[in-house]
């Protein structure tokens, strides 16, 4: 199978003493490499050096096969098998790889993001939102799950209750005891809350308004970001719902390392993966071709 490229005819003709007419006429069913071998057999000494001077020289290859043209890079990449194509994908950075997400719907991207661990999702979200805004966008039921004693110790939560206003502490106590405590000092109210049984304490935390829960969790994550692992990945995809697809894709490309972005786009069909791979730097592309893909270069012919 031939790979048809729009090559630099002037370069090839001048460099290897072959007329454009000959190249065009002979290209039907023959690769450029085949044509040069025939020319060499017919006494064209310059053509005999084509393999060494072009197919094994990245700089000359870029010029002769016009590899700076994305269309030519795509023509080659789209003819590779999936395993060989992955070899070239390794040379793309995260933002280049994230282009592949454009081929998915927003819903599909969110389903892919849910497969990432919470800490990775948190990194992506922080490219767009403050920690407080992230927590504000997570459903309250997920905040309640986060604040369960299995996730956060009572002693830890007590540290952040000191940051809440007195009226909020009053409501916490009244919500679970039914008794008003307007005359108590903040210290006395905190002692009362701390004396609650585990279940009563949990009920008092759950009874808090969303703003107070957000404040507690924001403080926790500010002081110890590892607590983000207490959220499910599903909970952390909720903030993405208000974003446009391009904003999500940009954040992914800025936040995640290439191996993680590659996992997200791994389901793309080969023809779309080839488009993504086309972003590879022409110098890297030519170097890889000359080193490891002489069989591919031997299939190149004129378009």
pLDDT tens-digit map of 242-272? 999 999 999 999 999 999 999 999 999 999 9
Q: How far apart are CA 139 and CA 217, in angstroms?
A: 13
pLDDT at 108: 97
- Domain boundaries, given as residue ranges, for the chain: 3-91+280-302, 101-262
Q: Which residues contact 98 (CB under 8 A, 6 or more apart)?
A: 249, 250, 252, 253, 261, 265
Q: How far apart are CA 170 and CA 138, in angstroms?
A: 26
pLDDT truncated to tens, each residue of the chain (303 aa)? 789 999 998 988 888 888 888 888 887 888 889 988 988 898 888 888 888 989 999 999 999 999 999 999 999 999 999 999 999 999 999 999 999 999 999 999 999 999 999 999 999 999 999 999 999 999 999 999 999 988 999 999 999 999 999 999 999 999 999 888 878 899 999 999 999 999 999 999 999 999 999 999 999 999 999 999 999 999 999 999 999 999 999 999 999 999 999 999 999 999 999 999 999 999 999 999 999 999 999 999 888
pLDDT at 28: 80
Say if residue 192 is exposed, middle or buried (CB neighbours under 10 Å; 0-12, 13-18, 19+).
middle
Torsion angle of the four alpha carbons 80, 86, 88, 89, in this order, in degrees rounded to the nearest 10: 130
Beta strands at 3-5 and 300-302: parallel, antiparallel or unpaired: parallel
Q: Which two tokens stand for residue 183?
A: 């005359």
Helices (H), 101-197: 106-113, 118-125, 131-136, 140-146, 154-161, 166-177, 186-194
pLDDT at 159: 94
Q: How far apart are CA 287 and CA 293, in angstroms?
A: 10
pLDDT at 303: 81
Nearest to 241 by CA among 102, 92, 134: 134
pLDDT tens-digit map of 31-88? 889 988 988 898 888 888 888 989 999 999 999 999 999 999 999 999 999 999 999 9
Q: How far apart are CA 78 and CA 35, in angstroms?
A: 23
């Amino acid at each position: 199978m031939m790979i048809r490229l729009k090559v630099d005819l002037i370069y090839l003709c001048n460099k290897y003493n072959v007329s454009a007419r000959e190249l065009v006429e002979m290209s039907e069913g023959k690769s450029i490499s085949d044509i040069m071998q025939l020319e060499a057999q017919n006494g064209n000494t310059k053509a005999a050096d084509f393999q060494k001077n072009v197919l094994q020289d990245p700089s000359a290859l870029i010029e002769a096969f016009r590899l700076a043209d994305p269309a030519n890079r795509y023509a080659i990449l789209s003819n590779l098998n999936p395993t060989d194509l992955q070899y070239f994908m390794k040379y793309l950075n995260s933002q280049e790889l994230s282009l592949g997400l454009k081929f998915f719907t927003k819903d599909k991207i969110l389903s892919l993001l849910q497969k990432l661990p919470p800490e990775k999702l948190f990194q992506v979200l922080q490219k767009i939102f403050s920690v407080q805004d992230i927590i504000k966008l997570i459903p309250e039921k997920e905040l309640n799950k986060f604040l369960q004693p299995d996730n956060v110790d009572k002693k830890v939560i007590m540290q952040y209750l000191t940051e809440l206003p007195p009226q909020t502490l009053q409501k916490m106590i009244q919500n679970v005891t039914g008794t008003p405590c307007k005359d108590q000092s903040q210290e006395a109210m905190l002692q009362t809350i701390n004396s609650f049984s585990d279940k009563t304490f949990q009920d008092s935390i759950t009874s808090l308004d969303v703003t107070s829960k957000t404040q507690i969790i924001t403080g926790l994550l500010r002081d110890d970001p590892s607590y983000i692992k207490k959220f499910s990945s599903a909970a952390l995809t909720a903030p993405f719902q208000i974003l446009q697809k391009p904003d999500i894709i940009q954040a992914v490309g800025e936040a995640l390392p290439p191996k993680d972005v590659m996992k997200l786009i791994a389901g793309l069909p080969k023809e779309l993966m080839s488009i993504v791979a086309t972003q590879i730097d022409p110098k890297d592309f030519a170097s890889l071709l000359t080193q490891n893909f002489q069989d591919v270069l031997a299939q190149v012919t004129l378009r």
